[in-house]
C-alpha cells in the first residue's frame, strides 16, 4: 500500500491526547467514475428549469434515491449522488440499485411545486415501475408524497409498493411507519436518517473512549438530516456548540439548546434570528466548518468541504450527513492531516436502509424497533471503519468501498409484503 507521511505527527500537541490518529495514511485512490446505467434530462416548458434522473444501478428492476431541488443543481452532481446511492444500498445489503433525481430550481420560488409536479409527470415511466424516490435537499417528504398522490401514484415509494400483493394495505402500512410519532413532536420517517447520523457521531466518541458529554460537535444544516442529528446528539448529552443554516452560523460555547432552536425553524430549515436566545452568538455561515470541535457534521449542501476550505476544518472526524459533502481532493487533504471522514454512504444511509426495512416489512410503526436496529447497525459499521483507520491507516471510505463494491447477490425476487 502506498503511504504518505502524516503531518498530524508534527502537530501532535494540537490533537487531544484521547483522540487517536493513524501514524500513516494511504493515498486515496482516484474517485471511481463508473458509467451510470442511465441518464435522463428534462426541461420544464413553463419555467425552463432543468431536471435530471440518473439510475446508477438497476437491481431486480428497482433503483432507489431521493429527489433534490436547488438552484445550480447539475447533471454531474446527480450522477455523483446516484453513484452514492448505489454504494449505500450495497453497503446496507439492500436488494435494489441506486438512483437520484435533481432539479435545478430554487425550492423557495412560488413555482417550485409546479416544477416538481411536472418533473415527476415526465419521469412517470420510471417512478411508476422502477424508481423509488423520497425527500432530499429542498424537497420534504410530505411534498413529494402530495405530488405522487396528485399524479394517482399514492406515495413516493410507489414503484415498490405496486409490487405488493395488496398495494393498498402496503401503502397504509408504509404510511403508518413514516408517520409514527416520536419524542420531540417529530415523525419517525423525518428523523430516522438524522438518528443514524447521530449514532455515527456517538460511535465515534465510543471509539475514542469518550463520554458524549466530553465530546463537541458542529453541524452545517438543520433541516431534515441536520436537525434530527442535532436533536439526538443533544439528547445523548453531546455538546452541539455550533450549527449553521443557509442564513449563517449560531454558536454557544457551553452547547446550544437544540430543541429550542429547532422550534424556531421555518419550512426550509432556517432558524428565526429574531427569536434567538440572548446567549447565542451569530457568526458568518462558514464559521461552522472551522468550529473548534471534535466532530464536524456537514448536513446541508454537497461539496461543502473543498481544497479551498479543508484546512479550516479543526474537527478530528467529519461525519457526512450530506451526500457528497467532501470532494475527493479535500478528503485526501484531510486524511493527510489525520482527519477521518465517515462517508455519506455509511453515515447517512440509515434513511434509505430504514425506508427499505419498512417496505420489506422488517420494521414497523413501533419506533423503538427501528431505532434499535439502526443504532446497532451504525455502531457496528462505524467501529469497523474507525478501527481500520486508527490501526492500519485505511480511510473509512476505502474500508466502506470494499463493502459497497461487493453487494450481496440477489438470489430471489424482491417481495414487498
- The distance of closest approach from Cβ of residue 268 to ligand NAD in the complex, given in angstroms and rounded to an integer, is 6
**Binding flag, residue 80, ligand NAD (CB under 6 A):** no
Query: Shortest CA distance to 30 belongs to which of 2, 53, 58?
Result: 2
- 216 vs 66, 203, 364, 367, CA distance in Å? 30, 13, 33, 27
**Binding flag, residue 225, ligand NAD (CB under 6 A):** yes
Q: Looking at 321, 333, 335, 359, which residue binds ligand NAD (CB under 6 A)?
A: 321
- Please identify, among the stretches 89-97, 129-137, 233-241, 400-408, the one whose residues bind ligand NAD according to the rule CB under 6 A: 129-137
**Going edge to edge, which strands form the sheet with 340-342?**
281-283, 248-251, 239-245, 216-220, 295-298, 317-319, 340-342
Q: Which residue lies nearer to ligand NAD by CB, 44 or 190?
A: 190
Pairing of strands 97-104, 67-69: parallel
Query: What's the helix, strand, coil split of the chain in %, to 5?
Result: 45, 20, 40
Q: Which residue lies nearer to ligand NAD by CB, 197 or 334?
A: 197
- Please identify, among the stretches 36-44, 201-209, 210-218, 318-326, the one whose residues bind ligand NAD according to the rule CB under 6 A: 318-326
- Please identify, among the stretches 25-33, 177-185, 238-246, 311-319, the one whose residues bind ligand NAD according to the rule CB under 6 A: 238-246
Q: Which residue lies nearer to ligand NAD by CB, 120 or 218?
A: 218
**Binding flag, residue 320, ligand NAD (CB under 6 A):** no
HSE-up of residue 384 (Cα within 13 Å, Cβ side): 16
- The distance of closest approach from Cβ of residue 286 to ligand NAD in the complex, given in angstroms and rounded to an integer, is 8
The three grid cell numbers given for residue 186, joined into one nine-digit string: 417529530
Residues 23-62 that bind ligand NAD (CB under 6 A): none
Main-chain phi, psi angles of 139, to 5 degrees: -130, 95
Residues 186-215 that bind ligand NAD (CB under 6 A): 193
- 14 vs 119, 206, 252, 332, 380, CA distance in Å? 50, 21, 22, 20, 29
User: DSSP label at 289?
Assistant: T
- Please identify, among the stretches 25-33, 116-124, 144-152, 295-303, the one whose residues bind ligand NAD according to the rule CB under 6 A: 295-303
- 48 vs 109, 111, 119, CA distance in Å? 13, 11, 12
- The distance of closest approach from Cβ of residue 25 to ligand NAD in the complex, given in angstroms and rounded to an integer, is 26
Q: Looking at 89, 323, 327, 399, which residue binds ligand NAD (CB under 6 A)?
A: 323
HSE-up of residue 404 (Cα within 13 Å, Cβ side): 23
Q: Which residue lies nearer to ligand NAD by CB, 101 or 138?
A: 138
Stated as kind and residue range, the H or E segment containing 296 is strand 295-298
Q: Which residue lies nearer to ligand NAD by CB, 146 or 214?
A: 146
CA–CA distance, 185 with 216 (Å, rounded to integer): 25
- Total binding residues for ligand NAD by CB under 6 A? 29
CA–CA distance, 353 with 272 (Å, rounded to integer): 33
- The distance of closest approach from Cβ of residue 223 to ligand NAD in the complex, given in angstroms and rounded to an integer, is 2
- The distance of closest approach from Cβ of residue 220 to ligand NAD in the complex, given in angstroms and rounded to an integer, is 5
Q: Which residues contact 146 (CB under 8 A, 6 or more apart)?
A: none
Residues 240-269 that bind ligand NAD (CB under 6 A): 244-246, 268-269
- 217 vs 155, 197, 256, 264, 313, CA distance in Å? 35, 12, 10, 20, 12
Q: Which residue lies nearer to ligand NAD by CB, 293 or 321?
A: 321
- The distance of closest approach from Cβ of residue 117 to ligand NAD in the complex, given in angstroms and rounded to an integer, is 18
Determine the residue with CB nearest ligand NAD. 223
- The distance of closest approach from Cβ of residue 344 to ligand NAD in the complex, given in angstroms and rounded to an integer, is 7
**Binding flag, residue 136, ligand NAD (CB under 6 A):** yes
Residues that bind ligand NAD (CB under 6 A): 68, 135-138, 193, 220-226, 244-246, 268-270, 285, 299-302, 321-323, 348, 351
Amino acid at each position: 500500500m502506498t503511504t504518505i507521511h502524516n503531518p498530524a505527527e508534527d502537530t501532535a500537541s494540537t490533537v487531544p491526547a484521547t483522540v487517536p490518529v493513524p501514524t500513516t495514511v494511504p493515498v486515496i485512490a482516484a474517485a471511481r467514475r463508473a458509467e451510470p446505467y442511465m441518464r435522463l434530462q428534462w426541461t420544464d416548458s413553463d419555467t425552463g428549469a432543468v431536471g435530471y434522473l440518473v439510475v446508477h444501478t438497476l437491481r431486480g428492476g428497482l433503483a432507489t434515491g431521493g429527489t433534490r431541488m436547488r438552484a445550480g443543481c447539475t447533471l454531474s452532481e446527480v450522477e455523483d449522488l446516484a453513484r452514492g446511492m448505489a454504494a449505500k444500498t450495497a453497503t446496507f445489503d439492500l436488494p435494489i440499485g441506486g438512483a437520484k433525481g435533481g432539479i435545478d430550481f430554487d425550492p423557495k420560488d412560488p413555482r417550485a411545486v409546479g416544477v416538481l409536479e411536472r418533473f415527476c409527470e415526465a419521469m412517470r415511466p420510471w417512478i411508476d415501475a422502477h424508481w423509488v424516490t423520497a425527500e432530499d435537499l429542498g424537497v420534504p417528504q410530505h411534498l413529494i408524497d402530495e405530488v405522487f398522490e396528485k399524479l394517482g401514484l399514492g406515495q413516493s415509494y410507489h414503484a415498490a409498493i405496486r409490487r405488493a400483493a395488496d398495494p393498498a394495505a402496503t401503502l397504509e402500512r408504509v404510511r403508518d411507519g413514516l408517520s409514527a410519532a416520536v419524542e420531540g413532536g417529530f415523525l419517525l420517517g423525518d428523523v430516522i436518517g438524522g438518528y443514524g447520523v447521530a449514532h455515527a457521531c456517538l460511535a465515534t466518541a465510543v471509539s475514542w473512549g469518550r463520554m458524549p458529554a466530553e465530546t463537541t460537535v458542529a453541524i452545517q444544516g438543520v433541516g431534515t438530516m441536520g436537525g434530527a442529528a442535532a436533536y439526538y446528539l443533544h439528547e445523548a448529552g453531546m455538546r452541539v456548540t455550533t450549527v449553521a443554516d443557509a442564513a449563517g452560523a449560531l454558536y454557544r460555547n457551553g452547547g446550544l439548546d437544540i430543541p429550542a432552536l429547532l422550534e424556531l425553524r421555518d419550512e426550509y430549515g432556517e432558524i428565526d434570528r429574531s427569536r434567538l436566545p440572548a446567549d447565542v452568538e451569530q457568526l458568518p455561515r462558514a464559521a461552522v466548518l472551522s468550529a473548534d470541535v471534535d466532530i464536524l457534521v456537514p448536513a446541508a449542501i454537497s461539496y461543502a468541504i473543498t481544497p479551498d476550505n479543508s484546512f479550516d476544518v479543526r474537527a478530528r472526524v467529519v461525519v457526512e450527513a450530506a451526500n457528497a459533502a467532501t470532494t475527493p481532493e479535500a478528503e485526501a487533504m484531510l486524511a493527510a492531516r489525520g482527519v477521518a471522514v465517515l462517508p455519506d454512504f455509511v453515515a447517512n444511509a440509515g434513511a434509505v436502509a430504514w425506508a427499505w426495512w419498512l417496505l420489506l416489512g422488517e420494521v414497523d410503526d413501533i419506533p423503538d424497533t427501528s431505532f434499535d436496529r439502526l443504532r446497532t447497525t451504525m455502531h457496528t459499521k462505524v467501529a469497523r471503519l474507525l478501527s481500520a483507520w486508527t490501526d492500519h491507516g485505511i480511510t473509512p471510505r476505502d474500508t466502506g468501498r470494499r463493502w459497497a463494491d461487493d453487494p450481496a447477490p440477489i438470489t430471489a425476487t424482491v417481495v414487498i409484503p
